[in-house]
Amino acid sequence: MHPAPSLIVFTVLSGLGFGLLVWLGLGVRAPSGMAAFILFGLGYGLSGAGLVAAAFHLGHPERALKAFSQWRSSWLSREAVLAAATLMVMAPHAAASVFAGGGLPVLGGLGAVLALATIFATAMIYAQIKAVPRWHHASTPPVFGLAALAGGALLAGLTTLALWGMLALAVAMVAHWVAGDRQFAQSGSDTGSATGLGYLGRVRLLEPPHSGQNYLLREMVYVVGRKHAHKLRLIALVLGALLPALLLMVPASYLTVALALVAHVAGMCVQRWLFFAQAEHVVGLYYGRASQD
């Protein structure tokens, strides 16, 4: 799948923002006054910036409000509704924390649940797509969820929670890669089933339907960068989870937490890039995707 920068930025930043709001809403970190202003501002800023980045991905951003209508069936619509609900429900809790010296636990708790649901909805947008076998697996939501919770804990300065979060994230990322590498073969889709001619013999593309590019090839039959996948996975694992975990084990200071945060965000950007670039869509079978057996 095409790794659109707007989608990478969106999923990383909004994940961080909503992860931070989970901890702030639950009151695990209960700042007040200026500290609350900065932390809630960060949570709202990151999740809001992510949503704006996602809107840039649309062909018709001016119609984006229509995306709130189909929450009964569509995970993308659910994500939009949940994100807006989180930001609205959390607002009185945030305002009270900043101006009244203490939060509103009930609204904060409800906001935290909504923020968690938003992160899950983001993951399900990808995990629901059966035509991309690597994504269509139970290991996808944990990667999104743990990245958001670990990164959010780091932003909130909850170093112990962040440390355990980072270690769990490392396990989730590896599990997602190991499972993902087998998913295409396990989907049962191959050129034989795609054409229905598999019973006759070995099927291969003789002539493509067109000599130029098209939307499908650019969007879904993306191949660049799979070459260095192994190295990039190591970079994502080390920067995104292991190095932050290591930095969180030494006595906490602003410098180590800041370094951990920079490494984590850089690592998650690499992880998200791989998440898209390595995901193969079954439509590639109609365009000569070589079987990997």
Q: Establish if 290 lies at the interface with another protein (CB under 8 A).
A: no
Instruction: Closer to another protein by CB, 202 or 231: give it.
Output: 202
- Token reading at 117: 């649901």
- Token reading at 158: 């909850």
Of 173, 195, 191, the residue nearest 270 (C-alpha): 173
Judged by CB under 8 A, which of 76, 110, 238, 252 binds another protein?
76
Q: Establish if 6 lies at the interface with another protein (CB under 8 A).
A: no
Q: Establish if 283 lies at the interface with another protein (CB under 8 A).
A: yes
Count the neighbouring beta carbons within 10 Å of the beta carbon of residue 192: 16
Distance CA 240, CA 264 (A): 4
- What is the distance of C-alpha 267 from the center of its chain? 12
Q: How far is the CB of 178 from another protein (least distance, A)?
A: 22
Q: Establish if 188 lies at the interface with another protein (CB under 8 A).
A: yes
Q: How far is the CB of 222 from another protein (least distance, A)?
A: 12
Instruction: Closer to another protein by CB, 76 or 266: give it.
Output: 76
Judged by CB under 8 A, which of 82, 107, 132, 168 binds another protein?
132
- Token reading at 5: 């920068």
Q: Establish if 26 lies at the interface with another protein (CB under 8 A).
A: no
Instruction: Closer to another protein by CB, 58 or 249: give it.
Output: 58
Residues in 202-231 at the binding interface with another protein, rule: CB under 8 A? 202-210, 212-216, 219-220
Q: What SS3 class is residue 31? A: coil
Distance CA 40, CA 183 (A): 39
CB distance 17 to 48 below 8 Å: yes
Q: How far is the CB of 139 from another protein (least distance, A)?
A: 19
CB distance 249 to 273 below 8 Å: no
Residues in 86-125 at the binding interface with another protein, rule: CB under 8 A? 125
Q: How far is the CB of 134 from another protein (least distance, A)?
A: 13
Cα separation values, 62 from 55, 56, 57, 66, 189, Å: 9, 10, 12, 9, 38
Judged by CB under 8 A, which of 28, 49, 52, 67 binds another protein?
67
Q: What SS3 class is residue 214? A: coil
Count the neighbouring beta carbons within 10 Å of the beta carbon of residue 92: 16
Judged by CB under 8 A, which of 34, 201, 250, 254 binds another protein?
201
Of 147, 53, 122, 48, the residue nearest 88 (C-alpha): 48
Of 22-30, 90-98, 183-191, 228-236, which part binds another protein (CB under 8 A)? 183-191
- Token reading at 223: 């191949």
Task: Enumerate binding residues for another protein (CB under 8 A).
Answer: 1, 57-61, 63-64, 66-67, 69-70, 72-77, 80, 125, 128-132, 187-189, 191, 193-197, 200-210, 212-216, 219-220, 281-283, 286-287
